[in-house]
Amino acid sequence: MNKEINIQELGLKDFKETWEYQEELFKMILDLKIKNRREETLHPTPNYFLFVEHPHVYTLGKSGDISNLLLSEKQLQEKEATFYKINRGGDITYHGPGQIVGYPILDLDNFFTDIHKYLRLLEEMVILTLAEYNIKGVRSDGETGVWLDAGTPFARKICALGVRASRWVTMHGFAFNVNADLGYFDHIIPCGINDKAVTSLQVELGVEKVDVNQVKEKLLKHFTTLFEAECKHELKS
């Protein structure tokens, strides 16, 4: 089993371009798995973890409701935002500058074949990272992602999750609000949940700006431990 993770920093990159790149990696791993099975070979399948920030964009998952987008096409243009229906689970969410978006493209046959466990470990990675900032992140019953004060009138979401998997290969991932402009969430019903707020690490810490690279380092540290993986950084323009 190949537990090496190729970490790629994509910087600020258009959502559609990144989605297409994810699909390339996803298909490459799937094709290799199919070839291994057909030819009874054991070529190791690679694993990737993409870090990226997107220009303002709203994405709607397969089970999502378009009515959770509260903007017209003209208003989207005015907000300099784009919109895509995509092939992950979940409802609608927002991505934008100041948000850490992580796309683990893993062959779970290299780790464990359990999507529920996979999602819980991604949540745990964020919860452990928040703990390093003395913030208590928690899960909310029946809802994916990481929350603060779940189960109270002050519940607010700080990290959203939405993934796709086929033959135990994953794509899409998580969006962690670090320095994000939370005003963009006012134009959707985030994840189809209309009675809870969103927040960011910046807001919770009450600081002007959080060091994003430091947060990424903490996320990767916990990811590596939780998945018993070894991370290798690659340069990707």
**Paired tokens of 189:** 């019903």
Distance separating alpha carbons of residues 191 and 204, to the nearest angstrom: 21
Torsion of CA 89, 118, 103, 27, to 10 degrees: -80
189: DSSP letter: -
> Annotated binding site for substrate: which residue ranges?
88-95, 160-162, 173-175
Phi-psi domain of 167 (left: phi exceeds 0; alpha: psi -120 through 50; beta: other): left
* Residue 159 annotated in active site: no
Element (H, E) at 12: strand 4-12
Sheet architecture: strand order including 57-60: 82-85, 57-60, 92-95
Do β-strands 230-235 and 4-12 pair in parallel, antiparallel, or remain unpaired? parallel
Annotated catalytic residue within 101, 121, 127, 191: 191
Q: How many CB atoms within 10 Å of residue 135?
A: 16
- Triad 81, 26, 30: Cα angle to 5°: 155
Question: Where in the sequence numbering do the catalytic residues fall?
Answer: 191
